[in-house]
Amino acid sequence: MPSSELWAVDLLGRVFTLSTAGQLWELCRDAQLEFKRVSAAAPCCWGIACDNQVYVHVGASDVPIRCREEAYENQRWNPVGGFCETLLPSDRWPWSDVSGLQHRPLDGVALPSPHWEWESDWYVDENFGGEPTEKGGWTYAIDFPATYTRDKRWNSCVRRRRWTRYRRYKSRDTWAKIPSEDGPQRLPDPFSDLSVGGWEITDEPVGRLSVWAVSLQGKVWYREDVSHPNPEGSSWSLVDTPGEAVQISCGPHDLLWVSLWEGQALVREGINRNNPKGSSWSVVEPPTSENGILHVSAGVGVVWAVTKDRKVWFRRGVNSHNPCGTSWIEMVGEMMMVNVGLNDQVWGIGWADRALYFRQGVTQSELSGKTWKAIVAGRECDGSRSGSSSSLLSAGCFFGDEVRGGGESRVPSDSEAKRPGPDPERDVEVAGPASAPAELPWTNIDLKEPKKGPSHAAADFAEATNLSSLALLPLGLEEPDSADCHALWAWVSGGGCAVEAHTTLKWFTVHSGLSASMQMPSLSITPAQTAAWRKQIFQQLTERTKRELENFRHYEQAVEQSVWVKTGALQWWCDWKPHKWVDVRVALEQFTGHDGVRDSILFIYYVVHEEKKYIHVFLNEVTALVPVFSEAKHSFAVYTPERTRQRWPVRLAAATEQDMSDWLALLDLSCCESRRVHGRPSPQAIWSVTCKGDVFVSEPSPDLEAAEHWLPCDQMFWRQMGGHLRVVEANSRGVVWGIGYDRTAWVYTGGYGGGCFQGLASSTSNIYTQSDVKCVYIYENQRWNPVTGYTSRGLPTDRHMWSDATGLQECTKASTKPPSLQWTWVSDWFVDFSVPGGTDQEGWQYASDFPALYHGHKTMKDFVRRRCWTRKCKLVTSGPWLEVAPIALGDVSIIPEIPGAHGSGPGIALWAVSDKGDVLCRLGVSELNPAGSSWLHVGTDQPFASVSVGGCYQVWAVARDGSAFYRGSVSPSKPAGDCWYLIPSPPKQRLKQVSVGHTAVFALDENGNLWYRQGVTPSYPQGTSWEHVSNNVRHVSVGPLDQVWVIASKVQGSRSLSQGTVCRRTGVQPLEPKGQGWDYGIGGGWDHLSVRASATRAPRSSSQETAGERRREQGLPSGPSKVAGAPQETPNPVCC
Amino acid sequence: MTDDKDVLRDVWFGRIPTCFTLCQDEITEREAEPYYLLLPRVSYLTLVTDKVKKHFQKVMRQEDISEIWFEYEGTPLKWHYPIGLLFDLLASSSALPWNITVHFKSFPEKDLLHCPSKDVIEAHFMSCVKEADALKHKSQVINEMQKKDHKQLWMGLQNDRFDQFWAINRKLMEYPAEENGFRYIPFRIYQTTTERPFIQKLFRPVATDGQLHTLGDLLKEVCPSVVAPEDGEKKNQVMIHGIEPMLETPLQWLSEHLSYPDNFLHISIIPQPTD
């Protein structure tokens, strides 16, 4: 769980952040600015400072925010000077934008604000649709505007080329002033409130935010074009309101509530993906007519409000379809303000004490939560204070009604240009809600004499509300806090603060200075693991065993080992037709051999035609125990080499999750014990992931990569590690990284077990909670008829009107379940607009008939349409993984090394592609710090999809448009290299993945073809051409010995077909790097594999291999003629 | 070895090669051969010596057989101490195998408890486990367990089944995440040089300043005479399971990993051999 931050402003206008993992408020840098309001989102925070200007604070990140500026240089051919800048009078500008309509000289392109800087100078883009152009990046055409080609023809009269330059947002981790309006629109009057939200409405553009503000005159403004690449937005636009607004709140999704001077609330209707500003307002009356609404705060499915009598209210029944909700419920407590953050969690500032409260117990099923709990985290600026914990703990919780004197219309808002400070007693009465807000009321908090907590108030409160928050009442009314005793808060924003059920917060107790700097668990090895005492115990135990046992092994054991049996009832997917689940009794018999090794047999007793029969499995033959995807059953598959070849495992199902975990853990333990495998996997282990997200590890035996008599891959033993991943990549120095379905990056901690492997099957330390989120998709299908247009009434032959992607299965919103019982829904169904082919505004895709190619706009020939609905589900498990925050990844690659070949060099090269397509290089990765320290961003001209770093620092990558790139000059001293070289893809193919071994380069295209890069030499590392190796490949991993392993799409066994099978390329030799055939291993249902740590060379042929390799490294052409030069004394098939 | 789990395994599978000889005073029908056995360190003498008993009874007359007891160099061996403790305390400096003398008569009533059946051992073992959990968790963990879990602990010990035992025992070794360890560390310190059978006091794993207590801290607190002065000569060995952990070892870690199955840390203090 990565940490996130709560933002708050104290009465002096200082902005603080509190990490979910920390227990100290940290003062936001830029202390010279004082703030009135802040509103946070995950990547940034907006605020209004006391100078009435709006500021945005974008957090620091290793990935820069960069934007491409481009300009086109246009030229026309004339017989005298050839191509030159002299154009015809009717032509476009010599320097223009892409359309040619706008004049765009290079020196006329300016930075949009002082917060940007140029990354480099202008340069010519030589990439034209994935193909490198001839010199200078020119593309040719007959005339402007026309279709441009990269080849110059006899009739090419004009040419153009694109100049590009990147600008970079530089004001990160600091408050950047939003430039005042200088457009034609008149300047908005100063803002008094502001709210950011709406990031869940749409992902386009990336990081889009809705930023809303209220001006002193009560007008509502919307900031246009705020997104990740444009954090400042472009301009303010006015949104008309039926009344004068005082305060505004925008939820993460489509809720927008405004409180009015008159005490009602306005609710924005019609906010959606196509119209994030919404279309109309509705009015919601306050809970009671005498006390109007002072403050509102909206979440995803909740709205909280504070009325003028400081009471807190919860709005019931709020959601996207009914943004107004149904009714108010009064909550316990008196608050200044409340703020709803991520996951509908709520924070508030107490009315009487100005302390900060967190609403505990807010869950999806109980959105109103249980109690207010005071946050008593210390502040770094008053860290020296000690002994105040007792008063801190008792401070607050007096929701007494002692401060009523100010009159009903007093508005506790800090919206005044002058900050509260020297003259806090000034207490301005406002005549009425309609009075001009030129002089706003002070909050009536008294800095010098905070309200005493009179005992009667507490008693009143206890009587009035004998409800849930009683526990919060202080036990004894100790001395009331004084102003300098705890922070007095003015504003809080939880929009960037993710608190979930399993988050443990340390905010509620005061810690001494020693433990206050508690951090997230980090991967640096803890002192306990390296301490001398620990080493000494391990060493002495070994010596003791030697001393006391070595010469006495022939002695009889005092306790005889008995046979131990565990029995139970499971279901078994029977081996013959009709295949179905049948109830069986199972028994696991364990016995101990004379050598102390345990062995076990699993018996499955079934009844057929009233005759009792059984099948059995020797656990020392089992090669994998694999949990299987099933919506309804807790099932797993048991593989042996024979069953792997048949593609027909023994499938068993348990009645409960616990039952299955118990069996799986026990069988796993027995398998591991009979193979003497336990503890953490070796650094050279082969890692893989199934389509269910389960992680499997196999120890490579020395003969696995032997040239002959290799170990067939169906005999490899795979054991499960805890955790849930989509991608896992390893390196032979024990560095392993994973990527979850939600693209979170994880690093292996060196533990084992977790998930369902508890107790003995799990390591004591290095196991952490891990969560993952994925989407489930269903399709809504409609057919057109001439009377009613598109309806959900199809032809009798049509697919289900609600179906899966293929249309074969009926999938309705109600009947579709999460993929397995481990997953729970965490969102409602929403339309997915990011489907290939594009959609219209409502998400529909059109086609002439089912099934067909769908496109995003309706034409005359389209008679059917469909749209994709998505729902998110979440899984929480545990495993030896720690999150590498904060950048989400799409792909990762670690340098494949041969132990000892390079020595243990300084750092381990690790490259990744972020979820946004940025290429990144991790710095500081080593055995002791596998997570590394920071990302180095490697600039690209387009988003990338896949990256791979080879054993000699050759970095290859594939862009999202399917073209390949080689990164030049990467070395340990220059970890990011210098520039990209475009490598044309195989003809008519779009590449999707690349894997580089020691020297071999393999790439995979979108049609499942595997390609080998021919002609790669040290002097020409880009190689010359792609050679086809095989089809039917889903994923490729090339190891440090240039061994080639893949996940094959389909493999036919003797009994059934499996999809997603681990395969090894056979016959791969230095002189035949493409290999000859396939050896089939475990599957199906495998998704990902990494052999990049497996550097165990077969002992016999190693000298030959190195000889061959050396030859190739010298750049000698590889061919049979050269083999004659190799030593012939030992006729070894390796060479031939 | 990198994981602490391996320590548990090593501790559990500790064995002491032992040679049992019948006492000269016992009347036999024919000469009794010595009997050799690997005794589990973590178990109890009367629990694992059925074979020894059978072996010697074969050469004796029925009427000469009464309750079996064991003695080493004149010291009767208390069956209710774990075997590893007895060995560390009395015989760790002597050569292997451990020579134990077997007696069937003149039971030393004042030194030993009677052990008429395995139920007595079970009762003793379980009472130790409960006492330890009272110290560690105010008995909360052991009381929440079911009867069958208690039985599994005992059966695990009796049948020398590490997995079976630890499947339950790990729960006794857990502590709340917000704490840094148990409430008190269950330990007993044994010395051959004193009359007192053992020392047992309340001792917390974490000091008031948040620092973890070490083995050295414990010894300084409860038997300061044992700890050698900084520059002085080492006079004593502090032994658990036949090894001498460094005095810097955190006590909480020791309690979790080097406790006997009864959940106590049995620490032997023996004079430094002078060789």
pLDDT at A881: 93
Q: Mean of the pLDDT values across residues B131-157?
A: 90
CB-based contacts of A902, cutoff 8 Å, min separation 6: none
In chain B, which residues fall in CATH 3.10.20.90? 187-268
Distance of alpha carbon A842 from alpha carbon A780, whole angstroms: 12
pLDDT at A348: 93
pLDDT above 90 (res B105): no
To the nearest whole Å, the CA of B121 is away from the closest chain A CA by: 16
User: CATH for B15-103?
Assistant: 3.10.20.620
pLDDT band at residue A529 using 50, 70 and 90 as cut-offs: low
The mean of the pLDDT values for chain A is: 80
> Does the distance separating the beta carbons of B2 and A533 come in below 8 Å?
no
Distance of alpha carbon A131 from alpha carbon A983, whole angstroms: 8
Distance of alpha carbon A492 from alpha carbon A7, whole angstroms: 6
Confirm if A964 and A983 have CB atoms less than 8 A apart. yes
Confirm if A941 and A164 have CB atoms less than 8 A apart. yes
CB-based contacts of B24, cutoff 8 Å, min separation 6: none
Distance of alpha carbon A751 from alpha carbon A762, whole angstroms: 8
CB-based contacts of B89, cutoff 8 Å, min separation 6: B81, B190, B192, B268, B270
pLDDT at A994: 95
Q: Tell me the torsion sign for CA atoms A405, A411, A413, A419.
A: negative
> Does the distance separating the beta carbons of A531 and B248 come in below 8 Å?
yes
pLDDT at A905: 63
The CATH architecture assigned to A562-678 reads Roll (2.30)
Distance of alpha carbon A659 from alpha carbon A585, whole angstroms: 14
pLDDT at A761: 67
Determine the residue among A539, A548, A677 to mutate to test chain B binding: the one whose Cβ has the most chain B Cβ atoms within 10 Å.
A548
Distance of alpha carbon A835 from alpha carbon A833, whole angstroms: 6
pLDDT above 50 (res A378): yes
Q: Strand A35-40 vs strand A44-49: parallel, antiparallel, or unpaired?
A: antiparallel
Residue scoring higher pLDDT (A758 or A812):
A812
Closest partner CB to B38 (pick from A557, A562, A751): A557
Q: Cβ of B7 under 8 Å from any chain A Cβ?
A: yes
pLDDT above 60 (res A466): no
- The 10 Å Cβ neighbour count of residue A87 is 16
Under CATH, to which class is A5-62+179-380 assigned?
A: mainly beta
pLDDT at A1113: 42
Determine the residue among A503, A504, A517, A534 to mutate to test chain B binding: the one whose Cβ has the most chain B Cβ atoms within 10 Å.
A534
Closest partner CB to A763 (pick from B5, B163, B250): B5
> b/e for A337-374, b at 16 or more Cβ within 10 A?
bbbbbbbbbbbbbbbbbbbbbbbbebeeeebbbbbbbb
pLDDT at A392: 32
Q: Cβ of A760 under 8 Å from any chain B Cβ?
A: yes
pLDDT above 80 (res A1133): no
pLDDT above 80 (res A1104): no
To the nearest whole Å, the CA of B6 is away from the closest chain A CA by: 8
Angle between helices B118-137 and B162-172 (to 10 degrees): 30
pLDDT tens digits, one per residue of A206-239: 889 999 999 988 999 999 999 988 999 988 889 9
Complex ipTM tops 0.90: yes
Give the tokens for residue B55.
């072996």
Among B residues 183-242, those touching chain A with beta carbons less than 8 Å apart: 209-210, 241-242
Q: Tell me the torsion sign for CA atoms B238, B241, B244, B248.
A: negative
Tell me which fold the domain B187-268 belongs to.
Ubiquitin-like (UB roll) (3.10.20)
Determine the residue among B4, B154, B241 to mutate to test chain A binding: the one whose Cβ has the most chain A Cβ atoms within 10 Å.
B4
pLDDT tens digits, one per residue of A21-54: 888 888 887 657 889 999 999 889 999 998 888 9
pLDDT at A520: 44
pLDDT at A380: 66
Distance of alpha carbon A950 from alpha carbon B186, whole angstroms: 55
In chain B, which residues fall in CATH 3.10.20.620? 15-103
Residue scoring higher pLDDT (A429 or A909):
A909
pLDDT at A42: 84
pLDDT tens digits, one per residue of A598-645: 678 899 998 888 888 888 898 889 999 998 877 678 899 999 999 999
Q: Cβ of A235 under 8 Å from any chain B Cβ?
A: no
pLDDT at B252: 92
pTM assigned to the model: 0.73
Q: Mean of the pLDDT values across residues A487-513?
A: 78
pLDDT above 50 (res A297): yes
Under CATH, to which class is B118-173 assigned?
A: mainly alpha
pLDDT tens digits, one per residue of A252-273: 988 999 999 999 999 999 998 8
Give the tokens for residue A511.
């810690």
Distance of alpha carbon A366 from alpha carbon A361, whole angstroms: 7
pLDDT at A1108: 42
> Does the distance separating the beta carbons of B166 and A533 come in below 8 Å?
no
Distance of alpha carbon A614 from alpha carbon A611, whole angstroms: 10
pLDDT at A530: 64
The mean of the pLDDT values for chain B is: 88
Give the tokens for residue B25.
């005073």
Listed by start position, the domains of chain A span 5-62+179-380, 66-169, 562-678, 776-875
pLDDT at A641: 92
Distance of alpha carbon A857 from alpha carbon A854, whole angstroms: 9
Q: Cβ of A60 under 8 Å from any chain B Cβ?
A: no
Q: Cβ of B159 under 8 Å from any chain A Cβ?
A: yes
pLDDT at B136: 93
To the nearest whole Å, the CA of B95 is away from the closest chain A CA by: 10
Distance of alpha carbon A641 from alpha carbon A657, whole angstroms: 27
Residue scoring higher pLDDT (A611 or A1106):
A611
CB-based contacts of A397, cutoff 8 Å, min separation 6: A350, A353, A372, A374, A469, A472, A473, A474
